[in-house]
């Protein structure tokens, strides 16, 4: 799978700098990402853990102990 993804990137970009037009050529990588997100989406609720202590997220958002 990794070899096929790398080959797709090489074929799409060649020696050029990344441009927005290249993204449409990355169909295999898009499918890998979509499949990964599909598998992770249903696990999000299962894997969520409560915080062990009060936390400040990104220096702005206060989250209390025990929240998810």
Confidence bin at 61 (pLDDT 50/70/90): confident
Would you list the domain boundaries of the chain?
A: 2-63
Cβ atoms 13, 22 nearer than 8 A: yes
Terminal-to-terminal C-alpha distance of the chain = 35
Strand partners, 55: 63
pLDDT value, residue 13:
86
pLDDT in tens, 14-39: 888 888 888 889 999 999 998 888 87
The rounded distance, in Å, linking the Cα atoms of 42 and 58 is 26
pTM above 0.85, yes or no: no
Summarize the confidence of residues 59-65 as an average pLDDT.
73
Nearest CA to 54 out of 44, 39, 67 is that of 67
């Amino acid at each position: 799978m990794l070899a096929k993804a790398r080959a797709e990137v090489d074929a799409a970009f060649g020696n050029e700098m990344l441009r927005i037009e290249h993204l449409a050529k990355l169909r295999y990588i898009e499918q890998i990402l979509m499949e990964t997100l599909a598998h992770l989406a249903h696990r999000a609720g299962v894997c969520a853990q409560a915080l062990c202590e009060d936390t400040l997220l990104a220096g702005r958002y206060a989250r209390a102990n025990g929240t998810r």
